[in-house]
Structure 1
Amino acid sequence: MLEDYINEKISEARELMQNDTDKALKIYDELLEIEPDNINALNGKGSALMKVNKYDEANEYFDKSLSICENSSAFLNKGIIFKHLKENEQAIFYFDKACEINPNLENIITLLKNEITTSTDTINLNEFNDEASELIKKGIELKNESKLWDSLEAFLKAIEADSTCESEVNRLIDEIKNTFEKEFIYNDEEFDMDNKIDRIKMQAIRSLVKENDPSKTLTLMNIVLEVDKNDLNTLNHKGGVLFIFNEYQKAIDCFDKCLSIDKCYYCALFNKGIVLRIMNKLPEALSCFDELLKMPQYSNKVKPYHLEILTKLNQNPIP
């Protein structure tokens, strides 16, 4: 059936979005030739265009989607586009529209709206010494320019310059960490809802994505790992949750366990690279991304991280 074919191709395109946006775009183009008013294909192409920073074109596809039927996905993505363009009132308008249609988006939309309201106006810089204040301002400017690693470095230096700013600056650091956590890669997995362990795994993922409750997620994942300590998908997810809790070494231990089971498990290798970069372990992080670059299907995802670390190492060589 045509509907089954289209749904299958959309799932394929969504999976390709992680590593090969060009191929995903080609699939969406093919689908839109067959069914020009397919909302999922329109939103999918818009999302793929966002991945390659073609925001104006992406916006047109979300507008086309909304002209057919109001839907939360198009509203949410339009909000993200206007947030990126720093048109904050428009962004908040679209975020609110998305939440009206789908209240389950409330947690993620709250995070996105909080990112919009973060500015020097929300922090009383007069409370800190001059060096820390300048570093905080610089960090926020870099964050708004999407130079997240440089922003993170500025915030950490601000804390070193004046420890009294730590509480305020950690809030800004957490927002950057949330951005990186969204970059983590997880394998899509088919769940057998007649299987008790699969039901627990699905509940764990739901508690993280929809309920924004990482503590509950961790508890459920530990239950799964008591039954099967080598469950790759669960170990990888657990590493991501431990990252949220700032348990960096424990997160890496989870990713290493994945890689001891399957040395080519690219999800864990990529996630480990991000955590090592957060820990400022640049050569170790680079080694992870070097390995991933040997797999052409992941190069688009990996190259920006690889280049950032190489640039950093060239500026500040390790003695």
Structure 2
Amino acid sequence: MNQGEKLEFKCPKETHYGYAKFVCLNEFCTNSRIFCFECIKNGDHNTHIKYQYEIDNLFEFFDNQKKKTEELIQKLQLINVAITNQFSQLEQRLKIKCCFPTAELQKFDTQKLNQGLNQMIKYKDITKNILDDINESSNALLDQINKYTNEFTLDETDKQNQAQLKIQQVNELFLQGQKLYGIKKYEEAIEYFDEALQINPNDCQSLYLASECLTMIKNYKDAIIKADKLLQIDQNNPQYLCIKAEILRCQQRYEEAILYADKALSINSKHLFSINNKADCLKMLKKYEDAIFWADEALQIEQKNLFPLNVKSQSLKMIGQYNNAIIWANKVLFIDEDNINSLITKVECLIKIGIYNDAFIYLNTALKLYPENSTLRQLKIQLLTIQNQNNQANQSLQKIVKISPFFNQSKIKNERF
């Protein structure tokens, strides 16, 4: 309801048929706080008339109460931050004063070692009492917090509102993380997903994208923890099985990755990401014919998907079908002319079939885009070596022709190339 609208409630007294028009804000009132004209005639609330307001004033009352509550929450949050900061300082100073790494101790001379021992003995009594003192204080603080928390008992409506509020908070945090994930700010995105998971540890959308982000920054250990949590929630979800397969593939655990991809495909035979994962794993296991088969399966679902196109062109190259590999690399480059994998595949295949000039053209194009790529640099050295050898061979051939003008030059060229 908006503030421009009128509040309309039936009078709580069953014998009164009119609408409630007033509200009582007296702290000690024992009558119904919502009442009608007939209630006034009966003398209700006459002892505290100055606390009576028209019911529409409830908007202002609740707004003011909301602002006061938000201010209180902010002050409590500041106290929480201050306590956390003090704990951090204590933790740091304990490490500096009382924790000497073995490697550092070995570098100490006698004087420095003596100083260290004096320090340790000086702080021995203090550290002994830290836990007891802070435990005592924290228990007292927790008792106070529990006391005031229990003052606000929740009925079923409150619990539903609380649950709805949690859902809203989780969704807002997820959307913030999703935006950061979309622009490849993975570490920042993870912070939002983790915050959402503190509120709801079983929020699948946050678990999934957190796992993806962790995979992108190569934190595979934590990525698998998130993926396993997803599978505990739903072990038959192809998407969750697929993210586990993807992490395993990135860890070069290809046989295990295929097992999870197969589980996903047993549930959904057309699950594209699982097919892609399986195709790439088979390629990495040097099972090129099988990789091509699964790449074709993926391409039947989505003809212009770059992942299986790359897998197919690379696998064709590995089994010596260089011309076919170039055809499929070209399909990728038609969609994405800067695709590094297909540029490399095309250059390698052009070298293999001896079309060096074209290989140089594509290699130079690729190096302008990716000047630091080590594979491209190696290919350039390879091509320069071949070019240099050809130049030397041509020079030798010209010398032979000068000495023997009737020498069969075309025959030599055919034999050489």
TM over 0.5, yes or no? no
TM-score bracket for the superposition, by shorter chain length? 0.3 to 0.5
The TM-score with structure 1 as length reference comes to 0.41
Structure with the bigger RCO (C-alpha within 8 Å, sep 6+) is 1
Question: Greater CA radius of gyration, 1 or 2?
Answer: 2
The structure with more helix, counted as a fraction of residues:
1
TM-score normalised over the length of structure 2: 0.32
